[in-house]
Amino acid sequence: METIVFDIGETLVRDDRYWASWANWLGVPPHTLSALVGAAVAQGRDSADALSILRPDMDIAEASLARTAAGRGEHLAESDLYPDVRPTLAELRALGVRVVVAGNGTVRAGELLRALDLPVDLVVTSDEWGVAKPDPEFFARVLEVSGAAPGSTLYVGDHPANDLFPAKSCGLQAAHIRRGACGYWWADHPDVVATADFRLNALTDLPALLNQVPDAPRPRALRAL
């Protein structure tokens, strides 16, 4: 494996601050919003649908701008990273692997991630590229920055429909991580088990997997869950 590309939310970054800040903005208990996020995930819906359930008439994009204008916009600190992130990324680079972070996110999210000075070769978000997962064009861009062939590029993420299935359909190898609401809920789904080249319980599983190659092509179950 020459290049490993990482999703952002609930792969590298914990989303609890994000949802707690939205709950505070909307004036609801954090547990209420977290429960609705879990319900959306279990139904195979976008987690952001939880916001629409709470405020059906709210324009989420406009509300995000209002939060930023009020000084309550995006924030990212070292404490928002999962504990295994920095040591695993450093170990992978020490092993000679090109390490890229590429996931759905705002331009501001990209700036905040780069400010953390992670041991990676590149950090880029969907808004910076102008295309978001699961669009195949996003993964075409991933391959452009990978610097390696699709079969030598591994995409790591928690979301089957946004990460695992489209990465595989574009010819990349793909790993599903059991992390976050989506990662845990769908980890043992037959389509995930059949499609993933690797299934991770933690990022620290990765270095030992570098020289492993799937024994045979896996069925590519590409429908959205």
User: Does residue 1 contact residue 210 with C-beta atoms inside 8 Å?
Assistant: yes
User: Does residue 103 contact residue 7 with C-beta atoms inside 8 Å?
Assistant: yes
Count other Cβ atoms within 10 Å, centred on residue 157.
Answer: 30
Give the Å distances, CA to CA, from 118 to 91, 111, 164, 183, 203: 12, 12, 24, 23, 15
Distance between CA 154 and CA 147 in Å, rounded?
A: 12
pLDDT 10s digit of each residue in the chain, 225 long?
999 999 999 999 999 988 999 999 999 999 999 999 999 988 888 888 999 999 999 999 899 899 988 988 888 999 999 999 999 999 999 999 999 999 999 999 999 999 999 999 999 999 999 999 999 999 999 999 999 999 999 999 999 999 999 999 999 999 999 999 999 999 999 999 999 999 999 999 999 988 665 443 333 333 344
State the pLDDT at residue 55: 94
State the pLDDT at residue 122: 98
Cα 193 to chain centroid, rounded: 18
State the pLDDT at residue 209: 86
State the pLDDT at residue 220: 37
Secondary structure of the chain as H, E, C letters? CCEEEECCECCCECCHHHHHHHHHHHCCCHHHHHHHHHHHHHCCCCCCHHHHHHCCCCCHHHHHHHHHHCCCCCCCCHHHECCCHHHHHHHHHHCCCEEEEEECCCHHHHHHHHHCCCCCCEEEEHHHHCCCCCCHHHHHHHHHHHCCCHHHEEEEECCHHHHHHHHHHCCCEEEEECCHHHHHHHCCCHHHHHHCCEEECCHHHHHHHCCCCCCCCCCCCCCCC
Spatial neighbors of 108 by CB under 8 A, at least 6 apart, are: 68, 73, 74
With CA atoms as reference, report the closest residue to 184 among 8, 42, 2.
Answer: 42
State the pLDDT at residue 68: 87
Cis amide bond preceding 30, omega within 30: no
